[in-house]
Amino acid sequence: MGLFKYFIKRLLLAVPTIIGVSIIVFLLIHIIPGDPVQVMLGNKATEAARTALTERLGLNQPLYTQYWNWFTHSLQGDFGISVTSYEPVMSEVMSRFTATIELAFISIIIAIVLGIIFGVTAARYRNQPADHILIGFSLLGVSIPVFWLGIMLIFLFAAVLQWLPVSGRLTMGLSIPHITGLYLVDSLLTGNMRAFADSLQHLILPAISLATIPLAIIVRVTRSSMLDVLHEDYIRTARAKGVPRRRVIFKHALKNAMIPVLTVIGLQLGTLLGGAILTETVFAWPGVGRLLVTAISNRDYPTVQGIVFLISVLFVAINIIVDCCYAYLDPRIRFEE
């Protein structure tokens, strides 16, 4: 099976999954105990306001009509109107989306680069102090709650040492023209180095907190995958031929050790999207995760549904890309099933 055909197959398999996801997201509003309109508007709402919201959400229609309307609209990017801001959910999400992308992207880069370097180092110095220290840190890394780590980083680096800003994405008074929505890119494009430095400073602590769990897991997987590969015959052959150890590790072993690492990176992207919710809340980072938490506390269910659906579809898409990546690296995968 060619790579393209494999991609199409994975894409088609995703269709029923997306439909299933949409059903669950749609049903969220129906598992609210009691009357959802009452819950959203509170007790003080007028009868007219209630009727209007019921109409708008279509709650007076049969369930399947409601679902069909919701699904067809959401496929067109229409998730209705926020109950609190009266803005379309989609435009609210989109205005915050780039903030989340910027944070998540920097975090996963940190996690992948450091994770592979640390993992290879730990494998190379197996059972030596460097290995024990790295493994110790990675054990701690998976056990620390993201939000607590974030708070502790703020306490240390923002409050006590005052090296970095406490929260937000940019210092008040500075502004960056909207080109891509990614502050680092936009400030560079406009040559505004002060804004670039400022947004980078704001990014450091949230990116470190968000990167910690994926980093810890990538270290462990890289280490064990490297250890497996280093026992293979072709490694011994390469060493016996006189290829320097360093070259064997980076040229021969690492490439073959990457498949399990890639799998785990794909899985970690889901954790990352979840972690972003917590990190953004801690650092008042104006992204989709924070919007979700605000929407939950305001009982703004159309917004909650929209965000949950969009992030899940994004997660499905990421998984397809990751699957195709290792189908490319390991052609055997394409021929399975």
Partner 1 sequence: MTSEWKQIIIEFRKNKLAVVGFYIAVGLLLLSVLAPFLAPHDPLEPNLTAKLIPGFWAGNWNNFLGTDNLGRDLFSRILYGGTISLRVGYIVILITAVFGTILGVVPAYYGKAVDMFLMRIVDVFLAFPPLLLALAIAAALGTGLEKAMLAISLTYIPGMARIVRSSVLTVKTLPYVEASQSMGASSTWIIVRHILPNILAPAVVYLTLLLADAILYTAALGFLGVGIDPSTPEWGAMLSSGRDYLLMGQWWVTVFPGIMIVLAVLSFNLFGDGLRESLDSKLRVQ
Q: Compose the 295-314 pattern: x for residues touching partner 1 by CB under 8 A, - for all others.
A: -xx---x--x---x--xx--
Q: Whose CA is closest to 251, among 234, 269, 271? A: 234
Q: Whose CA is closest to 90, among 297, 288, 275? A: 288
Q: What are phi and psi of 17, to 5 degrees?
A: -60, -45
CB of 142 to partner 1, least distance (A): 6
The burial of 118, by beta-carbon neighbours within 10 Å (0-12 exposed, 13-18 middle, 19 or more buried), is given as buried
Range in contact with partner 1 (rule: CB under 8 A) among 24-32, 74-82, 105-113, 329-337: 24-32
Identify the residue among 24, 109, 179, 284 touching partner 1 (CB under 8 A).
24
CB of 48 to partner 1, least distance (A): 26
CB of 178 to partner 1, least distance (A): 27
Instruction: Decide if residue 333 touches partner 1 (CB under 8 A).
Output: no
Choose between 85 and 319: whose C-beta lies nearer to partner 1: 319
Q: For residues 275 and 332, is the Cβ–Cβ distance under 8 A?
A: no
293: Cα within 13 Å, side-chain hemisphere: 16
Task: List, in sequence order, every residue forming a beta bridge with 81; answer none if it has no partner.
Answer: 88
Instruction: Decide if residue 281 touches partner 1 (CB under 8 A).
Output: yes
Instruction: Decide if residue 63 touches partner 1 (CB under 8 A).
Output: no
Helix, strand or coil, per DSSP, at residue 81: strand
Alpha helices by DSSP H, listed for 45-88, are 47-57, 63-75
Interacting residues toward partner 1 by CB under 8 A:
16-18, 20-21, 23-25, 28-29, 31-33, 39, 139-140, 142-148, 151-152, 154-155, 159, 166, 270-271, 273-275, 277-278, 281, 292-293, 296-297, 301, 304, 308, 311-312, 315-316, 319
